[in-house]
Chains A and B, each alone.
Chain A
Amino acid sequence: MLEIKNLHVEVGGQKILKGLNLNINDGEVHAIMGPNGAGKSTLSYAICGKPGYEITEGSVTFKGKNFLELEASERAGEGVFLGFQYPVEIPGVSNINFLRAAINSVRKYRNEGELAAGDFLKLIRSKAAELEMDPEMLKRAVNVGFSGGEKKRNEMVQMSMLDPIFAVLDETDSGLDIDALRIVADGINRMRCPEKSILVITHYQRLLDYVVPDFVHVLANGKIVKSGDKSLAIRLEKEGYAGLGIEENVA
């Protein structure tokens, strides 16, 4: 599904990713862990085409397509979703209008007609209910005044509405209370199927108890320095990065 080869990324003139390789096959769930500032969010932005993240070397291939040629919106159209570490507040745009615009944009990209208003409302109500989001929040401006946990839950509502085939979830578990973590984890697990893949970025083993990954990677100093199965995350939790011989970022 996703193939990243020798990826080098610069941000603001700083070299952040320095030759990263990652292969994710259909149906797999991968987890990336790593010290603060290692470049995890940078990787998620590079995959999803954020301006300012300059790819100086390497390739990103999604379903056989050279992804680096596509605009951010086209990547979404291809079925990629990014759950933001810090979801953005957009004053004046209601959640519901935003979602309608998003869903119809993606459908347009796929040459599908607009979703009928009634079907859209039915869909959004059921998704909000699944993630136990108060429907009143759909009327509010996107993320404006949302608590940290509410923002993350909102990301999940967006994901389930857009129904991607590949999702990068950047610390979607941070800031969630215990119940919310379960609800969000259930949301992620609902997406799991042989045709879809997920990359979760997290600092905590706890999420991985609910969303059991097929592979765990450690990203440090701009590269994947260690890969393993779910037991790697458990060892990390116990021994820390230093205990595994991984240096903290030397800036």
Chain B
Amino acid sequence: MTAKNHLGGLKFKAQFDLWGNSLPRSELDWVVKLRHESMAKFLQFGLPGPKVEAWKYTNLGQLNSGNYELITSADNVVNEMGLLENLKGSKVIFTDGFYNKASSTIESQNGVKLLSLNDYLKDFPEAAQKILNKNDDDSSLQSLNTALMTGGYVLFVDKNTTLTAPIQILHNTTTSSENKSIATKCFIDVQENSFAQIVEIFIGADEQNYWRHHVTEAIVSENAVLEIYQIQEEGKKAIHTADTHVDVGQRANFKHYSLNLGGKISRTEIKPTLKGLQANVDLRGAFLGRNGNAHDVFTHMKHLCPEGTSDQIYRGVLDKGGKSSFQGKVYVAKDAQLTNADQSNKNLILDRNAEANSKPELLIYADDVKCSHGATVGELDADALYYLKSRGLDQNAATALLVEAFVSEVYEEIKLEPLRSKYLELALNWLSKEHKK
């Protein structure tokens, strides 16, 4: 039954049989039906194994063999761990994958609808069925996510509306997350000429072993802008998979920033489809790994229309025991003439016992396009290091300054000042943690 090179994933089926009916909104028949259909779809394929090309650097064997239990409810106690201060705007908090109403604050604005997924399923069943059903899953993990979803959010931004402040989404955990799979899902729809920014933080404790699986489906309509800023600081033992699928319309603009720091395994998938003339996508991210962190960034940029532009900049810093991979796939359809697609992935290796993989893949069917890609793996520049030391900086301070410069390139265009400095602060903290060892 399992597809070639996939793992069975039967333990999730067993868990679903036991607890599926206790998942949120089981009182709604259509939700229960959708969950069952999605579980069946998942089982047709199973979990992608390491022999599947796109997963060759990320081994989900642990998900298949481990007995990850479902989590069916959570305490609605205040838990703001990980929330960014000095950012105005709505704050939506998910604790162990459930909407934490007690900790959240939703500011209302004309033309903006922001609500928890479970409220949406109940209060707008028709619209909800529409988006969930049209959801043509492109991976078995996405089907599993639909089968097991515990919560999430829905954001609608009407035409000609500019969000007055970024929306902060925080995903944190409690000790109840031990040995659990946490599936969250969200939908974002930014209508014509509108503007939205989302800051999304994933955080967990080092003690707990959990799998967080987060799926984002987004639409950015004509002339609209959507910016997503992710920070991933999961616990040491966690598996983190975050998939973002986004349709980008005519002259629309999608930006995705990420920083991956935590987790035993992290996988960030971003799949933008440029569906309108002159659509623009910028992807930026850094991943910092050591001591058993394995970070994997997988992007699939689909240029379907003419004159689209996409630009990807990813930087990896790998220290002792850290591992990473960047796979950047760019597809340019026959009709997508005058596409401009760039991609750059540079990796810095701080220790011999570290690994960085980089694999660009270009599939270009139009003849008049400009596409570039560059990938490097290297060590710190010895001359620069010595120059700094000759001015009094010790090994740690010199390394920190050079790594900061290497990483800061990713975030330098961010206009939200508290966020840009947060990214840099986290990167620097990561470095100084190393020095304490």
**A residues whose Cβ falls under 8 Å from a Cβ of B:** 48-51, 71-77, 81-82, 84, 87-93, 97-98, 101-103, 105-106, 109, 141-142, 158, 162
Pairwise interchain contact A90-B392, C-beta atoms closer than 8 A: no
* A76 & B391 in contact (Cβ 8 Å cutoff): yes
B interface residues (Cβ-Cβ under 8 A, vs A): 382-384, 386-395, 397-398, 401-402, 404-406, 408-409
Contact A92 B390 (CB under 8 A): no
Assembly CA distance A101 to B386 (angstroms): 14
When distances are taken between beta carbons in the complex, the residues of chain A under 8 Å from B397 are 73, 101, 105
Kindly provide the distance from the CB of B284 to the nearest chain A CB, expressed in whole angstroms. 15
Q: In the assembled complex, which residues on chain A have CB atoms less than 8 Å from the CB atom of B406?
A: 92
Instruction: State whether A73 and B394 are in contact (beta carbons under 8 Å apart), knowing that A91-B405, A92-B405 are contacts in the complex.
Output: yes
Task: Indicate whether A87 sits within 8 Å of B387 (C-beta atoms), given known contacts A92-B405, A93-B405, A105-B397.
Answer: yes
Residues of A within 8 A of B409 (CB): 92
A105: min CB distance to chain B, Å: 4
Chain B, residue nearest A76 (CB):
B392
Contact check, B388 vs A98: say whether CB atoms are below 8 A apart. Answer: yes
| Structural contact, B386 and A72, CB atoms closer than 8 A | yes
Asked if residues B390 and A72 are in contact (CB atoms below 8 Å), the reply is yes
In the complex, the answer to whether A93 meets B383 with C-beta atoms within 8 Å is: no
B391 and A90 contacting across the interface, CB-CB below 8 Å: no
- List 16 additional A-B contacts (Cβ < 8 Å) besides A73-B390, A92-B408: A49-B389, A51-B386, A71-B389, A71-B394, A73-B389, A73-B394, A77-B392, A84-B390, A88-B387, A98-B388, A101-B393, A101-B397, A102-B393, A105-B392, A141-B405, A162-B392
User: Could you tell me the distance in whole angstroms from the C-beta of B140 to the nearest C-beta in chain A?
Assistant: 41
Question: Chain A residues with Cβ under 8 A from B384's Cβ?
Answer: 88-90
Q: For the complex, give the distance between the alpha carbons of A201 and B389 in Å.
A: 21
- Please report the C-alpha to C-alpha distance between residue A98 and residue B388 in the assembled complex, in whole angstroms: 8
Chain B residues whose CB sits within 8 angstroms of the CB of A87 once the complex forms: 387
Query: Chain B contacts of A142 at CB under 8 A?
Result: 387
A81 / chain B contacts, CB cutoff of 8 Å: 390
**Smallest CB gap from B405: residue in A:** A92
**Of residues B389, B391, B405, B408, which shows the largest number of chain A Cβ atoms within 10 Å of its Cβ?**
B391
Kindly report which residue of chain B lies nearest to residue A107, judged by CB atoms. B392
B382 touches A105 (CB 8 A): no
Q: Given A98-B401, A101-B401, A105-B397, is A88 in contact with B383 using a C-beta cutoff of 8 Å?
A: yes
CB-based contact A73/B405 at 8 Å: no
- Which one of B388, B392, B395, B397 has the greatest number of beta carbons of chain A within 10 Å? B392
Query: Smallest CB-CB separation from B382: which chain A residue?
Result: A51
Q: How distant is the Cα of A137 from the Cα of B384 in the complex, in angstroms?
A: 19
User: Which residues in A have their C-beta under 8 angstroms from that of B383?
Assistant: 88
Alpha-carbon gap, A42 to B380, bound state (A): 23
CB contacts (< 8 Å) of A48 on chain B: these are 390
Shortest CB-to-CB span from A221 to chain B, Å, is 26
B388 with A90: CB separation less than 8 A = yes
**A209→B23 CA distance, assembly (Å):** 87
The answer to whether B392 and A106 touch across the interface, beta carbons within 8 angstroms, is yes
In the bound complex, how far is the Cα of B394 from the Cα of A109, in angstroms? Answer: 10
Query: Does A50 contact B386, Cβ atoms closer than 8 Å?
Result: yes
How far, in whole Å, are A106 and B394 apart by their CA atoms in the complex?
9
Give Cα A108–Cα B89 distance, bound, in whole angstroms.
41
Q: A88-B383, A92-B409 are in contact. Are A98 and B391 (CB under 8 A)?
A: yes
Please give me the 9 A-B residue pairs with the lowest Cβ-Cβ distance, nearest first. Answer: A92-B405, A76-B392, A102-B391, A106-B392, A88-B387, A105-B392, A72-B389, A73-B389, A73-B394
CB contacts (< 8 Å) of B398 on chain A: these are 73
- Kindly state the separation between the CA atoms of A75 and B402 in the bound complex, as whole angstroms: 21
Q: Is the Cβ of A105 less than 8 Å from the Cβ of B393?
A: yes
Within the complex, the shortest CB–CB distance from B430 to chain A, in Å, comes to 17
Choose one: A88, A91, A105, A162; the contact of B394 (CB below 8 Å).
A105
Bound together, the chains give a CA A97 to CA B388 distance in angstroms of 12
When chains A and B are docked, how far (Å) is the Cα of A90 from the Cα of B397? 15
What CA separation (Å) do A88 and B383 show in the bound complex? 7
Closest to A72 in B: B389
Min C-beta distance of B224 to chain A, whole Å: 32
Q: Are B391 and A105 in contact (CB under 8 A)?
A: yes
Docked complex Cα distance between A158 and B401 (Å): 17
User: B392 contacts which chain A residues (CB < 8 A)?
Assistant: 73, 76-77, 102-103, 105-106, 109, 162
Given A73-B395, A90-B384, A92-B406, decide whether A97 and B390 contact each other with a Cβ distance below 8 A. no
Shortest distance between the CB of B410 and any CB in chain A (Å) = 11
Contacts of A50 in B (CB 8 A): 386, 390
* Chain B positions within 8 Å of A76 at CB level: 389-392
- Residues of chain B within 8 A (CB-CB) of A92 are 404-406, 408-409
